[in-house]
């Protein structure tokens, strides 16, 4: 499957995984659980992150989360990356959610540390991805930010209903609620969602080039330099206290 995808996407170089530990979350020696590829030709500027943990249906375990955070940190410094797609290298699966089998073996302290990292990961994905993860509760209280993001998307009442019931939504139901932007009929290859996400990425790609984006950022930041609030923010950081902004 992976060789076929490499051929279809016309990579300028062989598929090269990130330099992370090439071991699965269960300790077995396997391929890296996160793999990165940059598209070429008219798709240059689009980069894909592929989740590759078939033994656990891409469940979010320690290794997958660590490798994904490493990938995002590297891509954040790559000025050639303009659109980021999340997808699965496992046929018929996107992400099963949290790896509860692995979490059951963690100590209370380890769970706290892992969930904190998971929250950071979800924030990164929410701010950078065209096709991102939808957190599922599986009947448990969400611990990776779902109690905060869901009410902001749907309102408090409906968010409570979905969290307390652990209800599973179809794609059409998720779209009707505004949780996802698009739903598509599945094709024979099982990758219809990927093709829709890639088409959206191609639509986004020409809108703002890196040079123009940096120029816009520079103009916006220049407006912030002479403000009192900028100085107050830096002073608050230095003094380890909440800032007192005045809007000037």
Flag whether pLDDT at 86 surpasses 80.
yes
Is residue 88 domain-shared with residue 111, that is, in the same domain?
yes
Residue 163 belongs to domain with CATH number? 3.90.226.20
Q: What pLDDT, on a 0 to 100 scale, did the predictor assign at position 136?
A: 37
Distance (Å, whole) CA 58 – CA 93: 7
Nearest to residue 64, comparing CAs of 88, 37, 40? 88
Residue 37 confidence class, pLDDT cut points 50, 70, 90: very high
CA atoms within 13 A on the CB side of 173: 6
The reply to whether 38 falls in a domain is yes
The reply to whether 218 falls in a domain is yes
- Give the residue, 121 or 85, on which the prediction is more confident: 85
Is residue 40 domain-shared with residue 107, that is, in the same domain?
yes
**For the chain, what is the largest distance between any 2 Cα atoms, rounded to a whole number of angstroms?**
59
Flag whether pLDDT at 64 surpasses 90.
yes
From residue 38, alpha-carbon distances to 45, 219, 226 in Å are 7, 30, 39
The reply to whether 2 falls in a domain is no
The reply to whether 205 falls in a domain is no
Select from 142, 164, 182 the last residue of a domain.
Answer: 182
| Contact between residue 116 and residue 106 where contact means Cβ atoms under 8 Å apart | no
From residue 47, alpha-carbon distances to 30, 74, 80 in Å are 23, 12, 9
DSSP secondary structure string for all residues of 134-149: ----TTS---SSHHHH
Strand-strand pairing, 34-38 and 46-51: antiparallel
The reply to whether 13 falls in a domain is no
The reply to whether 88 falls in a domain is yes
The total domain count for the chain is 3
Domain assignment of residue 235, given as a range:
214-247
User: Hey, what are 60's tokens?
Assistant: 């979010």
Q: What pLDDT, on a 0 to 100 scale, did the predictor assign at position 127?
A: 61
Residue 34 confidence class, pLDDT cut points 50, 70, 90: very high
Mean pLDDT within 168-197: 87
The reply to whether 79 falls in a domain is yes
- The alpha carbon of 165 is separated from its chain's Cα centroid by a whole number of angstroms, namely 25
State phi, psi for 85 to the nearest 5 degrees. -115, 135
Structure confidence by residue, pLDDT tens digits, 117-169: 888 887 777 665 544 433 333 445 666 777 888 888 888 999 888 888 888 88
The reply to whether 203 falls in a domain is no
Residue 229 belongs to domain with CATH number? 1.10.12.10
Is residue 116 domain-shared with residue 60, that is, in the same domain?
yes
């Amino acid at each position: 499957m992976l060789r076929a995808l490499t051929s279809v996407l016309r990579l300028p170089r062989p598929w090269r995984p990130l330099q992370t530990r090439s071991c699965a979350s269960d300790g077995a020696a396997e391929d890296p659980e996160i793999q990165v590829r940059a598209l070429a030709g008219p798709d240059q500027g689009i980069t894909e992150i592929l989740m590759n943990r078939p033994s656990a249906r891409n469940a979010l375990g320690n290794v997958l989360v660590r490798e994904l955070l490493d990938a995002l940190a590297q891509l954040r410094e790559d000025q050639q990356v303009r659109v980021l797609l999340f997808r699965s290298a496992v046929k018929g699966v996107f992400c099963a959610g949290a790896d509860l089998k692995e979490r059951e073996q963690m100590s209370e302290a380890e769970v706290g540390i892992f969930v904190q990292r998971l929250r950071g990961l979800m924030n990164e994905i929410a701010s950078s991805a065209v096709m991102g993860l939808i957190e599922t509760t599986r009947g448990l209280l969400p611990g990776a930010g779902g109690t905060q993001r869901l009410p902001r998307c749907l309102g408090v009442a409906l968010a409570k209903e979905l969290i307390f019931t652990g209800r599973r939504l179809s794609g059409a139901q998720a779209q009707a609620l505004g949780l996802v932007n698009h739903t598509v009929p599945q094709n024979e290859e099982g990758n219809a969602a990927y093709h829709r996400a890639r088409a959206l990425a191609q639509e986004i790609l020409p809108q703002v080039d890196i040079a123009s984006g940096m120029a816009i950022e520079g103009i916006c930041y220049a407006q912030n330099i002479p403000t009192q609030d900028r100085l107050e923010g830096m002073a608050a950081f230095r003094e380890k206290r909440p800032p007192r902004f005045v809007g000037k």
